[in-house]
A and B are shown apart, each in its own frame.
Chain A
Amino acid sequence: MTMEILAPEVTAAGMTDEICDIVLTRRLRWWLPCFVVALGGLGLLGAAVGWLFYAGIGIWGIDWPVVWGLAIINYVWWIGIASGGTFISAFFFLMRVEWRTALNRIAESMTLFAAACAGIFPILHLGRPWFFYWLFPYPNSMGLWPQFRSPLLWDFFAILAYVVSSVLFWYLGLLPDLASLRDRAAGRTGQIVYGSLALGFRGTARQWKHHRAAYGVMAAIMAPLVVSVHSIVGLDFAGAQTPGWHSTQFPPFFVFGAVLSGFASVLFLAIPLRRLLRLEAYITERHLDVLGKLLLTSSLCVAYAYAMDAFSVFYGAEPAEVTMFMERAFGLYAPVYWTTILFNILAPQLLWSRRARLSQPLVMAISLAVIVGMWLERYEIVVTSLHRTNLPSAWGVYHATFWDWATLAGTVALFFAGFLLFVRLLPVLSMFEMRELIAKRRGRP
């Protein structure tokens, strides 16, 4: 069969009505149970964070040699997942790829909530979280400034810029669709709420002109922004001379990793969503096919990074680096390393086959494997590097505690709670772009 980006029967009116109905009228039986579960998870997060603030980060498993643990791992993991949305909505917008249109709203929303989850960890992980704002260069009576050479400070600014920009970019794209909701809303509340959210966007010629201009340029900025964010996250490690971190390839390495987990997460969300919301007409198998290829490509990039990571260790032949790497590959944490290889490199190779790419359960499984694998990769980078540093006298081990895991689970719940609310309250497709696409195709011979 030839895979279309749009089912032929799709019309602008039908599409608009259907997507709006999901929000305005349709009953989703599965939604409430899912949301309740997510809320339960949020409760756990609240408990974990409350106890953390009360007792101190000693409740985590971090220790003297391994002073960074799950908090940093989770942070890097979440921020990597967040990248997927920005890549799809910004990069492929610039490339004018048509299949992006049906996915970018889902992807961008995923970005928002993943970035939110990522954003809380740098604060939680501080010894004195109530002083996190000291990283910000604000005027103070002491005449103090933050220390601008520190990659952590770069990171602080990068995350700030990334979260704010993602929200604004997402909202700008949402305006026309909020207008559609306002105009479709039957009830007064809906009209008021969506009317206010739409800020009075009506789709006049000049509004569209500015919208196109702003949206295009912002997309052109979001693309390098997301790259810079993950490069800086990489520099959080490469900026230190710790064995296993001190590598010039880390910035691209981290970008690759982020993209991989990002695409995997988009797939992992899009496939069930497509079923549950009956979006098959808009998110066609063609989309899954494309995403599958992207997953494979980014997996190959990551494979290259892993190879270089190993190669540079032995090429440089620093004894400490070699010791650390041998420990990573064959020591206490070896299972983590090899699982990482299996999940991030080997599993996606199945996607060479078209049949595999079209088998949704398999793609789901592979995506999940990659998501988990990328978490393990960060575990390997953070923990195995720190537990074998230059001085043998400072070698130790790390074991996460219950509270470490509770915090991770809690942020997963936070993500899904946010995403479920999005599905329930906002259009899951970028309707105005879809209409553009439909019009364009209809215009074609």
Chain B
Amino acid sequence: MIGLIAEFASEAALVRAVDHLQVEGFATLDAVTPHAIPELDGKLSGPPSAIPLVILIAALVGVIGGFGMEVYASTVSYPIDIGGRPLNSWPAFVPIAFEIGVLLAIAAGFFGFLIANRLPALHVPGTAAPIFRNGSRDGYLVTIRTDDAARLRPVLATLDVVRITEWQA
């Protein structure tokens, strides 16, 4: 099993290459790109991200939980006459509930992102190849793992590859 890294000059070229390679039956593909490429969704990166859902849940937990805490504190746990106001002055409890919801939502978004990508991962085997550095500059990289490089190379030749690097996986 070997791995090939093919660098392309443009987003479009990369997308075309990915389509072609998949048609050709090379399944174990991944891309490393200088910026997000929406067209790759559903091709390489699996199902749509679940993070928005996580964030929504966290937000609801925060809002409901926060509001619940305020009501519980003011009516059950610590019922004290404040300025003759009703114990359950719910309108006054809204802002804090909202802020707690926001706090949890943002935290969920950030840490959800880390977890979804199993980050932090400071060392990923086989990413030492210099070519990878272009991935955060202007190189659009495709990594292919295959057993018959013989079949792969001609296929790649048909695509406008900038350069190809090989590495033992």
Contact = CB atoms under 8 A, between A and B. Distances in A.
Contact of B49 (A160, A204, A214, A218): A214
Interface in A170-225: 171-172, 176, 179-180, 182-184, 195-196, 199-214, 217-218, 221-222, 224-225
A222 B31 contact: no
B49 A221 contact: no
Contacts of B74: 145, 148
B106 A165 contact: yes
B64 interface: no
Interface centre among B46, B69, B77, B102 (most CB of A within 10 A): B102
A232 interface: yes
A137 interface: yes
B106 A168 contact: yes
B137 interface: yes
B166 to A, nearest CB: 19
Interface centre among A13, A157, A208, A211 (most CB of B within 10 A): A208
Nearest to B104: A161
B135 A210 contact: no
B95 A200 contact: no
Contacts of B95: 154, 157-158, 228, 232, 235
A164 to B, nearest CB: 6
B35 A210 contact: no
Interface in B59-82: 59, 69-70, 73-74, 77-78, 82
Contact of A199 (B83, B92, B98, B121): B121
Interface stretch (A44-52, A270-278, A429-437): A429-437
A147 B52 CA distance: 33
A230 to B, nearest CB: 12
B96 interface: yes
B32 A203 contact: yes
A212 B38 contact: yes
A34 to B, nearest CB: 30
Interface in A127-163: 137, 143-149, 153-154, 157-158, 160-161
A12 interface: yes
Size class of the A contact interface (CB-based, 8 Å): 35 or more
Contacts of A164: 103, 106-107
Interface centre among B51, B70, B93, B135 (most CB of A within 10 A): B51
B99 interface: yes
A104 interface: no
Contact of A228 (B30, B98, B106): B98
A352 B51 CA distance: 43
Contacts of A148: 70, 73-74, 92-93, 96
A217 B107 CA distance: 12
Given A210-B116, A213-B52, 12 more contacts: A11-B138, A12-B34, A143-B78, A157-B99, A157-B103, A160-B99, A171-B110, A172-B113, A183-B133, A205-B33, A206-B116, A208-B40
Interface of B: 10-12, 30-38, 40-41, 43-46, 48-49, 51-52, 55, 59, 69-70, 73-74, 77-78, 82-83, 85, 89, 92-93, 95-96, 98-100, 102-103, 105-107, 109-110, 112-114, 116-117, 119-124, 127, 132-133, 135-138
12 contacts: A148-B70, A154-B95, A168-B110, A183-B136, A184-B133, A200-B119, A201-B117, A206-B117, A213-B48, A221-B102, A222-B106, A432-B35
Interface of A: 11-13, 16-17, 137, 143-149, 153-154, 157-158, 160-161, 164-165, 168-169, 171-172, 176, 179-180, 182-184, 195-196, 199-214, 217-218, 221-222, 224-225, 228, 232, 235, 432-433, 435-436, 439, 442-443
